[in-house]
Amino acid sequence: MLSFAVSQTAKLGRIIGILVLIVNIVSYFFYTTNRNFWRENWREAVTFVENRARKDEIALFEFGEPLAPFKWYSRGTLSAEGALTKSFAEEDETKDRVANLVLDKKGIWYFEYLRDLSDPGKIVEKAVRELGFDEKEVYNFEGVGLIRHFSK
């Protein structure tokens, strides 16, 4: 019905087109200036971690490999690995993998993103602590969740 009215009147079509454009511009402005509308702030999280990480540290994820958003925003200055060998954590395999990944590391940047899906028993975090790493800081990024910094 609206499209019929627009097609019948050129002036009404221009007015509706301008209104749609104005709503679009105003909505875009509110989205880009209000962080509450942003879904996951991976860019800021990755930049933050890479700027603070030392060469003898690693980013550790609750999956079989680093997450795609981390890879996308990473400059490649920090080694990043997934702690799991399967889609969910199994105690012995996970502990062995974590031990091998952090063998020569002095620090770990541990991303908890979606941990409850892949590791509800917190096996990765327990393995990190059992290997002698102490939690130094915890950072929270919108949509990314907690990033824990462990060091020896």
Asked if the model's pLDDT at residue 151 lies above 60, the reply is yes
Strands (DSSP E) contained in the chain are: 57-61, 79-82, 107-111, 134-141, 145-151
Q: What is the pLDDT of residue 34?
A: 82
Handedness of CA 8, 14, 16, 21 (dihedral sign): positive
Does 142 have pLDDT greater than 80?
Answer: yes
pLDDT band at 1 (very low <50, low <70, confident <90, very high): low
Give the contacts of 57 (CB within 8 A, at least 6 positions apart).
78, 79, 105, 106, 107, 108, 109, 151
User: What's residue 14's pLDDT?
Assistant: 81
**CA 130/CA 96 separation, integer angstroms:** 12
From CA 96, how far away is CA 142, in angstroms rounded?
31
* Whole-number pLDDT of residue 138: 97
Q: List phi, psi (to 5°) of 81.
A: -145, 155
Question: For residue range 16-74, what is the model confidence (pLDDT) as tens digits?
Answer: 888 888 999 998 888 888 877 777 889 999 999 999 999 999 999 999 899 999 999 99
pLDDT digits (tens, 9 = 90+) for 93-136: 999 999 999 999 999 999 999 998 888 999 999 999 999 999 99
Report the share of the chain in percent with pLDDT over 90.
Answer: 61
Output the six-digit token pair for 22.
Answer: 């104005």
The yes-or-no verdict on residue 3 having pLDDT over 70 is no
The pLDDT score that the predictor gives to residue 87 is 79
Residue 4 is predicted with a pLDDT of: 66
